[in-house]
Structure 1
């Protein structure tokens, strides 16, 4: 009597069967494109290239103020509060500071006479990590992976020091907002 040997599927065939039987779960998650964009962005910044990022999501929002004398005083105050201020970008051409704050801050930001907070769908160009001096936008306080600028202490510092000129009118013009 001859035993008939059943042919076993190959490893590739088993994997293909598992993928096909998984149904909708094998489809990429809807937020995977966002994750891929975030990873590409962070790799570009780490590779010392300027890169444009969307605000909001899981990264950060941004508070915009002037970068004048009073705003520099707010950085010094945040240095004391945080033991070193979180990330701040200075754009010498516009005369603005961009304070990187926790994501979702723009949704909770109450109007402020000396600052504007923006989140999604706006974008910002992050300077390369090695740019720490003008003339182009640069890291006035370098980005550290473990901190952002806390919103409430920043609001209080800005209310106390009142950096001028305020960014409201210039931002409205840049964003095409009319009143």
Structure 2
């Protein structure tokens, strides 16, 4: 006669054992709340809702320029450089482009006569991904079209120096945000 087989633990029992044996490691990391906020934000944008996000962190900073006709030349130049320009939001009410650039760019930004770069502690409202025409801010270059790449800072800076989109946003942003450049 063979001995009766021991009952195998259930999946829930195995998971409980793993959680209990994890000890300190099972405590949430200090930045998990930030990660959860980022995930909720990006899911909201994907779910076709406008969503306010903090700049900087692990997401992106933003370069703000005029959206006047010559600024479209900068987008065309970035199309050539990047093989399709990274994400750009057009804000027709203010007459601005918001170029999404790598996080930390604002710390490396040197004053530019035609653009301003903002990061932490500022925020931006991302339009829902399906908004690609006015009214209101919309995706001039949606992230989905460009495989979620950001606009590279140095080539953008050079393109803006070459194209010189006017009017520069400095005075309007200074008045709106109460900061100086």
Task: Compute the TM-score of the two structures, normalised by the length of structure 2.
Answer: 0.86
Q: Distance in 2 between matches of 1:132 and 1:119?
A: 24
Structure 2 match to 1:118: 118
Q: Distance in 2 between matches of 1:18 and 1:92?
A: 52
Q: In structure 2, list runs of 5 or more residues that go unmatched.
A: 1-9
Deviations 1:39-61 (A, max 9, x none): 00110011011001111111111
Structure 2 match to 1:170: 172
What's the CA shift for 1:69? 1.5
Coordinate RMSD, CA, aligned: 2.2
Deviations 1:55-79 (A, max 9, x none): 1111111000000012111001111
Q: Distance in 2 between matches of 1:62 and 1:17?
A: 42
Deviations 1:73-129 (A, max 9, x none): 100111111111110000000000000011111111111111000111111000010
Contact conserved, 2:87 with 2:148, CA < 8 A, in 1? no
Q: Distance in 1 between matches of 2:44 and 2:23?
A: 35
1:158 is the counterpart of 2:125:
no
Structure 1 match to 2:132: 132
Contact conserved, 2:132 with 2:139, CA < 8 A, in 1? yes
Q: Distance in 2 between matches of 1:118 and 1:166?
A: 14
Larger radius of gyration: 1
Q: 1:78 to 1:15 in 2, by over 3 A?
A: same
Q: Distance in 2 between matches of 1:107 and 1:177?
A: 15
Q: Distance in 2 between matches of 1:76 and 1:123?
A: 27
Q: 1:80 to 1:15 in 2, by over 3 A?
A: same
Q: In structure 1, list runs of 5 or more residues that go unmatched.
A: 1-9
Aligned length: 170
